[in-house]
Amino acid sequence: MIDGPTGDAVEPMRRFLQDLFSESGQASFSRVGTFCALACACFWVSRIVWKTGALPGLEGLTFFIASLYGLGKVGETVAKMLGPKQ
């Protein structure tokens, strides 16, 4: 009989996911937002392909997803350049 995951097995995965969606321990909108947009885009494109049998142009979608991450990084960079909040 196979038991469910133990606390020892779950902890490394939880830490990995926390590191994946954060920047130095801080929650990162650019990473979470990009993940959500990518998940929705995969569903949307899969549905279009399923219904029409044709792959749509992905240039605009790719630009949109990349811009989410890029804008988040630009914001973080500007915040670091301006110094700590007072």
pLDDT digits (tens, 9 = 90+) for 2-56: 455 555 677 887 888 777 777 777 777 778 888 888 999 999 999 999 999 999 9
Burial environment of residue 21 by CB neighbours within 10 A (0 to 12, 13 to 18, 19 or more): middle
**Is the residue at 45 inside a domain?**
yes
pLDDT band at 78 (very low <50, low <70, confident <90, very high): confident
Torsions phi, psi for 23 (to 5 deg): -115, 105
67 neighbors 54 (Cβ within 8 angstroms): no
Strand positions, DSSP E, 1-86: 22-23, 26-27
Asked, for residue 32, whether it belongs to a domain, the answer is yes
User: What residues pair up with 26 in beta bridges, in sequence order?
Assistant: 23
> For residue 54, is it within any domain?
yes
Give the chain's domain count: 1
Q: Is residue 35 part of a domain?
A: yes
Please give the DSSP secondary-structure letter assigned to residue 2: P
